[in-house]
Amino acid sequence: MWPFTKQHPDIWFTNTLSGRKELFKPLSSGEVKMYNCGPTVYDVAHIGNLWSYLFADTVRRVLKQNGYQVRQVINITDFGHLSSSADSGNDKMSTALTREGKELTLENMRELAEKYTNIFLADLKTLNINIKDITFPRASDFIPEQRELIKTLENKGFAYRTTDGVYFDTTKFKDYGRLGSINLEGLREGARIVASAEKKGATDFLLWKPDPNIGWDSPWGKGFPGWHIECSAMIQKTLGTQIDIHTGGIDLVPTHHNNEIAQSESASGKKPFSRFWLHHQFLNLKNEKMSKSLGNILNLSSLIDKGFHPLSLRYLSHTVHYRQSSDFTWEALAAAQETLVRLWNTAQKVRKQAGEKGSASEASLRMQTAFRDDLGIPRGLALLQEGLGGSLSVWQKWQMLVDADEVLGLELTNPPVGVREEDRAKANEREEARKRKDYATSDRLRTEFENSGYRVYDGVKETIYIQTTKR
């Protein structure tokens, strides 16, 4: 009997905490609490950043397809903290205020953060991520909770004060570094940790950073919470002291996520803080991690300006397993878009023939099983293509598209192919111009289409219109 017949079919994830692929079971039957590390909103997110939220959205979609209710939280870091997990460097938000010619105040920091938060949320919507079902807490709204968590850690003997801040004592947490089996000696040799004269240990990390000029009042002086404490405080407030899934990039494992575990479990006394930790590899550019500090970034708007449909990036993310890094190239994106357009055309033809009825097929069940097997999205995508090109009935092909799009999020059940009714006369006029080889008129109308939210592809047999914006 197929696992699909169960209320909650078996789902397997590779858990960074154990280093093994494990059967997923939530703390509460039918509900999943999931937290995804969010952006520091000091600039426009690049596509490497967005890769992380495409991954998180795919996790959510797999869970929802299999009957789970998902409570998803993505934090927004909207005030200054030091630029690295090493508690050192320039403050990104302060640097951004200087860049934009604004005075360094908490009010201006919040205003700047909301500007880039709105752009970030718009990018998520453009990538077909349903932001209405996600909570986006702002770190600056949880200052009391962060102060209270630091007090708890101090009262329990896990924190100590110095002249340059309040630190977490990692020697007091015996399991420190267990996530990812981190080599603590490597960290202590300074791989990512900058030593402080007053720190007891090189791996100790900031909980509160004093700043006499800007920040919030606290028992440790005016200043800011450390970067790590905000996630623990917001998770505790929005989801509880224990959650089911925590996601993020692989670079967050050594310090940020190990620090979250240490402070959260020390404060609550409950283990594990998160039952599953899922980490994705990077989207690289020229074999380097995409990073603002390296200057090798591309924004979603850059892709759209070059004529790519934003969902081509989503399709590209489905072609590689989340635990494998991917090197972005324009050629790879073009190939992804070409395949996606073909898939949309097929979906549109199937939809016209099948309507909106269908029945499950063995091919669809195999595809969904691949999705559940450690997010085997590339395998599931291949099975979809195989099923659409095989001998399935039109009804079964349609149902397979419906099942696939619940996870893929590529608008397969409502493909943005073809012209809107109000533009049909113009499309006919352009087709007639092409037939009589009136290229001036054809090119003029093509420009009009592209200026009004279409991408136009003139094939040998037909012209394909892709709607890039919705009306």
265-289, pLDDT tens digit by residue? 999 999 999 999 999 999 988 777 7
- pLDDT classification of 1: cutoffs 50, 70, 90: very low
Supply the Cα-derived Rg of the chain in whole angstroms.
Answer: 25
The most confident of the ranges 184-188, 208-212, 288-292, 303-307 is: 208-212
Provide the H-helix boundaries in 174-310. 184-188, 227-238, 258-268, 300-305
* CA atoms in the 13 A half-sphere facing the CB of 235: 28
Cα of first residue to Cα of last residue in the chain, in angstroms, is: 45
% of the chain beyond a pLDDT of 70: 91
Q: Is 182 helix (H, G, I), strand (E, B) or coil?
A: coil
Q: Which domains does the chain have, with CATH numbers?
A: 29-284 (3.40.50.620), 306-408 (no CATH), 421-467 (no CATH)
**Cα angle 377, 379, 382; round to 5:** 110
* Alpha-carbon 101 to chain mean position: 30
Provide the H-helix boundaries in 127-183. 143-155
The most confident of the ranges 202-211, 293-302, 451-460 is: 202-211
Instruction: State the pLDDT at residue 28.
Output: 92
| pTM to 2 decimal places | 0.90
Residue 190 has pLDDT above 80, yes or no: no
Sequence-separated (6 or more) residues with CB below 8 Å from residue 298: 46, 47, 285, 290, 328
- pLDDT classification of 4: cutoffs 50, 70, 90: very low
